[in-house]
């Protein structure tokens, strides 16, 4: 909990004070909401719901309870003056932390785990928000330049038919949508060794496709809009796009996006039928160098980490950007919502969200577990998400 709190505290320290009431993504709350939300969530879940504690600030418990996810283009209309001041929110936060620290030993392990992962999820989605702030609203950090290696050649690797295990064992931690564990037969298919790069996507843009949200054009040159500054478009880095853009590219290239079971088969499968916990095998993610767990802000080249690190020789299946699948987010057989947070997944089983797998540079190592599923609307352009293509 201390580490997760440090992670989100450090993020807020990146902001210039004037940024806190801004709304860098129109479909999300103003940043002040998130300052209160992380503590309100812990308080509501751990103290009030699990342990029956009485509220000391019922208005804030409610105001900061839930985020929003309206259809793209339907922005919230609230004004900065409608929100409490920063000192009021910080006073609430301090009181919550003092209380939670006293209660933590009594809280059910599952709820504590939920609170920690919830905070770490926001460490990533806050990065999406901060990414869209003007640069002068953030304290500057060094901008990493990409290497200019040889162009990545798209190669499809054949994955033989086999079973893939989706979901989590009941005895292990997972969010409600990760249950129940089940096996799916996956017919043979081909999948690209590397994620689709900016360089490959540039051909599509030159053929008339709109440029992704993360690109800017200046004097006929393309730049990548990084967290702390724009750099000449790194051609070998993965392109970050929406699901709609990824699907259009795949169609243009005569390919498809992988399904969720295909992603599992390519990432964790072997020829013998056994499956690995991580693409590279048994080693824990912390012992592995890859672009995840907050080491970098922006993507690195698609061939920058150990090449072909899954059994079948596919690279970077976790890290360096989530990967869109063509599977709509829905319940696994045996799904039951968490009683203490019934809307966490169920509210998104609406055929308007798609599953993403893998991880981005700002994804905590705990989310690299095989069963973790991420989901977003197909036209939400702010996610650190790319894709690779398949052929059947
Ligand atoms: Fe949240």
Q: What is the pLDDT of residues 3-43, one digit of tens each?
A: 999 999 999 999 999 999 999 999 999 999 999 999 999 99
Q: Are 85 and 32 in contact (CB under 8 A)?
A: no
Distance 217 CA to ligand 1 centre (A): 34
Distance 345 CA to ligand 1 centre (A): 12
Distance 40 CA to ligand 1 centre (A): 9
Residue 24: is it exposed, middle or buried by C-beta count within 10 angstroms (0-12/13-18/19+)?
middle
| Mean pLDDT across 345-356 | 97
Distance 38 CA to ligand 1 centre (A): 7
Distance 291 CA to ligand 1 centre (A): 24
Distance 385 CA to ligand 1 centre (A): 20
Q: How far is CA 183 from the centre of its chain?
A: 24
The pair of three-digit structure tokens given for residue 300, joined into one six-digit string: 């690195």
The per-residue pLDDT of the chain, averaged, comes to 95
| Confidence at residue 71, expressed as pLDDT on a 0 to 100 scale | 86
Distance 331 CA to ligand 1 centre (A): 20
Distance 125 CA to ligand 1 centre (A): 9
Distance 340 CA to ligand 1 centre (A): 14
Distance 95 CA to ligand 1 centre (A): 19
pLDDT: which is higher, 307 or 372: 372
Distance 303 CA to ligand 1 centre (A): 33
Between 122-126, 144-148, 335-339, 358-362, the lowest mean confidence (pLDDT) is in: 144-148
| Confidence at residue 238, expressed as pLDDT on a 0 to 100 scale | 97
DSSP bridge pairs for 197: 238
Beta strand pairing status for 321-328 and 385-386? Answer: parallel
The model's pTM is 0.95
Distance 282 CA to ligand 1 centre (A): 31
| Mean pLDDT across 221-240 | 96
Reference 309, options 147, 145, 157, 144; nearest CA is 157
Reference 104, options 52, 178, 51, 174; nearest CA is 51
Distance 37 CA to ligand 1 centre (A): 7
Distance 99 CA to ligand 1 centre (A): 20
Distance 123 CA to ligand 1 centre (A): 10
Calpha distance 137→140 (Å, rounded): 9
| Confidence at residue 248, expressed as pLDDT on a 0 to 100 scale | 98
Q: Looking up tokens 């940024």, which residue turns up?
A: 19
């Amino acid at each position: 909990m201390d580490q997760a709190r440090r992670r989100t505290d450090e993020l807020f320290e990146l902001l210039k004070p004037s940024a806190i009431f801004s709304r860098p993504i129109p479909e999300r709350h103003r940043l002040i909401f998130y300052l209160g939300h992380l503590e309100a969530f812990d308080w509501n879940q751990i103290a009030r719901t699990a342990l029956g504690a009485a509220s000391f600030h019922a208005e804030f418990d409610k105001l900061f309870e839930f985020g929003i996810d309206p259809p793209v283009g339907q922005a919230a209309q609230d004004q900065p003056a409608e929100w409490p001041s920063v000192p009021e929110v910080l006073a609430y936060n301090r009181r919550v932390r003092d209380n939670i620290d006293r209660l933590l030993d009594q809280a059910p392990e599952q709820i504590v785990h939920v609170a920690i992962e919830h905070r770490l999820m926001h460490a990533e989605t806050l990065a999406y928000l901060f990414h869209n702030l003007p640069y002068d609203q953030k304290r500057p950090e060094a901008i990493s330049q990409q290497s200019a290696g040889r162009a990545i050649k798209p190669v499809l690797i054949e994955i033989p038919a086999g079973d893939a295990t989706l979901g989590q064992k009941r005895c292990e931690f997972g969010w409600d949508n990760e249950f129940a564990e089940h096996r799916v037969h996956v017919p043979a298919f081909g999948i690209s060794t590397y994620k689709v790069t900016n360089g490959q996507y540039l051909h599509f843009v030159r053929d008339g496709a709109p440029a992704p949200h993360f690109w800017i054009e200046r004097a006929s040159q393309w730049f990548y809009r990084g967290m702390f500054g724009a750099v000449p478009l790194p051609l070998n880095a993965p392109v970050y796009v929406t699901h709609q853009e990824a699907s259009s590219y795949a169609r243009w290239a005569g390919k498809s996006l992988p399904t969720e079971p295909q992603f599992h088969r390519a990432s964790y499968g072997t020829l013998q039928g056994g499956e690995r916990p991580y693409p590279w095998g048994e080693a824990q993610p912390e012992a592995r160098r890859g672009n995840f767990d907050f080491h970098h802000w922006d993507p690195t080249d698609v061939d920058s980490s150990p090449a072909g690190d899954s059994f079948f020789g596919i690279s970077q299946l976790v890290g360096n950007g989530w990967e869109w699948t063509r599977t709509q987010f829905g319940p696994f057989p045996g799904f039951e919502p968490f009683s203490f947070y019934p809307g966490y997944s169920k509210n998104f089983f609406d055929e308007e969200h798609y599953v993403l797998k893998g991880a981005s540079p700002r994804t905590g190592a705990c989310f690299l577990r095989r069963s973790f599923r991420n989901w977003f609307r197909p036209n939400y352009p702010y996610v650190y998400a790319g894709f690779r293509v398949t052929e059947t």
